[in-house]
Amino acid sequence: MTQPSLPRPSIAIVGYGSQGRAHALNLRDSGFDVTVGLRPGGPTEAKAKADGFSVKSPAEAVKSADLVAVLTPDMVQKKLYDEVLAPNLKQGACLLFAHGLNVHFGMISPRDDLDVVLVAPKGPGALVRREYEIGRGVPCIYAIHQDRSGKAKDLALSYADGLGGARANLIETTFKEETETDLFGEQAVLCGGASSLVQAGFEVLVEAGYQPEIAYYEVLHELKLIVDLFYEGGITRMLEFVSETAQYGDYVSGPRVIDAATKERMREVLKDIQDGTFTKNWVAEYEAGLPNYKKYKQADLEHPIEVVGKQLRAKMVWLDNSPKEQKEAA
């Protein structure tokens, strides 16, 4: 629960997706006064009301709130801030983000009277909620962009504590560090890097004449086993649980695939993130109606590994193939 020495602001949560719902529920259970701001008639309004929250339009929800948490997708935040939040936030309120992209790259320029902070749990919303309910918490990182009241850090810590983050670990960062490392991790390793590595491995095996089903199991299906070991105890734990043959292959072949040239291309990705090239291109793509985004996504969905994978997963009765759960976990 929140420490008595920390402030206990009234909170408006704007957005009620996976993270928004978890934040709202955890904060309410921690004793905060929480209102949810949603577009009337939108898809999540009924869900928030069923959870027992007072639901208002975003403009109405933020008018009396001491702290406003913006938990909507990145690409709608600028319009939301300019047209709804900035005209209605009360003087001296605190504006909170869970990702710093819009502020760090100047798409949102917060009013000068506001405290502006970031609190980001390091886990999907379902995990943030589940860990809180069993008396634990998910680590959170936090940052301060503007401290007009002199209490911005306390407000960020109070919010993180209300999520359950103080039960686990709280790490201070900056908007710059959170934004740039988050984007790099997604692009070079977690999403772009991992999916491209899996697709390339599948293609190499199939082109060499191996069965697609066998290739799928070896380069995608079994990846979960390794990632789970990474998650539980890092590379050390992975090495404890794989065979000596696998370890030796790791040592001699890993650096042949991920070599100095790969690392240099990673630096190029990071440079594009740091100098704003990626964000500029992403904003332009979004404003153009996502033509390339849609093309790239369709290519991934039609890749042969997805075709064979769908057939194989249909026989894996232990899997929960609910699209909602998959999206939440992501």
Specify binding-site residues. 16-19, 39, 44, 125, 182, 186, 218, 222, 243
DSSP type of residue 330: -
Binding residues for Mg(2+): 182, 186, 218, 222
Binding residues for substrate: 243
User: Of 99, 104, 221, 303, which is the active-site residue?
Assistant: 99
Residue corresponding to tokens 């504590």: 161
Q: How far is the C-alpha of 302 from the C-alpha of 296, rounded, in Å?
A: 10
3-state secondary structure of 127: helix
Residue 225: phi, psi to the nearest 5? -60, -40
Nearest in space to 161 (alpha carbons), one of 121, 191, 201, 196: 121
Answer for the pair 165, 138: CB distance below 8 angstroms, yes or no: yes
203-207: list long-range contacts, CB under 8 Å, 24+ apart: 203/304, 206/304
Answer for the pair 304, 202: CB distance below 8 angstroms, yes or no: yes
Q: How far is the C-alpha of 66 from the C-alpha of 9, rounded, in Å?
A: 5
Sheet of 34-37: strands edge to edge?
A: 54-56, 34-37, 11-14, 67-70, 94-97, 115-121, 140-146, 170-172
Active-site annotation holds for 99: yes
Binding residues for NADP(+): 16-19, 39, 44, 125
Nearest in space to 173 (alpha carbons), one of 163, 187, 160: 160
Answer for the pair 159, 27: CB distance below 8 angstroms, yes or no: yes
How far is the CA of 187 from the CAs of 95, 176, 206, 262, 278, in angstroms?
27, 17, 26, 13, 10
Cα dihedral value 60, 64, 67, 73, nearest 10: 0
Answer for the pair 99, 179: CB distance below 8 angstroms, yes or no: yes
Active site residue ranges: 99
